[in-house]
């Protein structure tokens, strides 16, 4: 792999799980931006949002993206909002292949129903809210993406195989 492989998309679409399997398949490094920010800050993303605000978190994402894209090629699982900043999207596209993982709102709700670590869903965990938030982000996700993959009802292995096939075709 001579370029980064960046996974973007809404929360609950499978970015972390897919990136963990992809890096094994491809024999590359792997980074999860949300986990790295939590480690650096010494607190959960929810707590960062509460104590320092969303803008602080988004700035931390941008800084980290710059660091990661300067490293040797790897699989990068990007936080759900990272591709929303035009500068981030441009950096991603310049650094590698950007893969948008998608899922229906009902699928996302099912995957996140017991997850209380998502600050943007606090007190609003329902399919209508997820649909509205997802639709507001969709144009930015699609503009940043080189490849789109639906994760609804599919195994991690199947999703990774499709990504690998599409990357081979695009090279």
Q: What is the mean pLDDT of residues 51-79?
A: 95
How far is it, in rounded angstroms, from Cα 82 to Cα 37?
A: 12
3-state secondary structure of 29: strand
Q: Sort residue 15 into left (φ over 0), alpha (ψ -120 to 50) or beta.
A: alpha
How far is it, in rounded angstroms, from Cα 53 to Cα 142?
A: 26
- What is the pTM assigned to this prediction? 0.92
pLDDT value, residue 117? 66
- C-alpha 140: how far from its chain's center? 13
Digit-coded pLDDT (tens) for 115-163 = 676 766 666 777 898 999 999 999 999 999 999 999 999 999 999 999 9
């Amino acid at each position: 792999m001579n370029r980064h492989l960046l996974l973007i998309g809404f929360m609950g679409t499978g970015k972390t799980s897919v990136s963990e399997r992809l890096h094994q398949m491809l024999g590359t490094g792997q980074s999860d931006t949300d986990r790295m920010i939590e480690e650096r800050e010494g607190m959960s993303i929810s707590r960062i949002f509460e104590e320092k605000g969303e803008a602080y978190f988004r700035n931390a994402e941008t800084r980290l993206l710059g660091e990661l894209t300067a490293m040797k090629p790897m699989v990068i699982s990007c936080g759900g909002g990272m591709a929303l900043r035009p500068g981030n999207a441009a950096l991603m596209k310049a650094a590698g292949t950007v893969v948008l993982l998608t899922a229906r709102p009902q699928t996302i709700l099912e995957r996140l129903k017991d997850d209380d670590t998502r600050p943007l869903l606090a007190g609003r965990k329902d399919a209508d809210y997820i649909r509205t938030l997802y639709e507001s982000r969709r144009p930015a996700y699609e503009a940043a993406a080189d490849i789109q993959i639906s994760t609804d009802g599919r195994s991690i292995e199947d999703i990774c195989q499709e990504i690998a096939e599409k990357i081979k075709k695009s090279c």
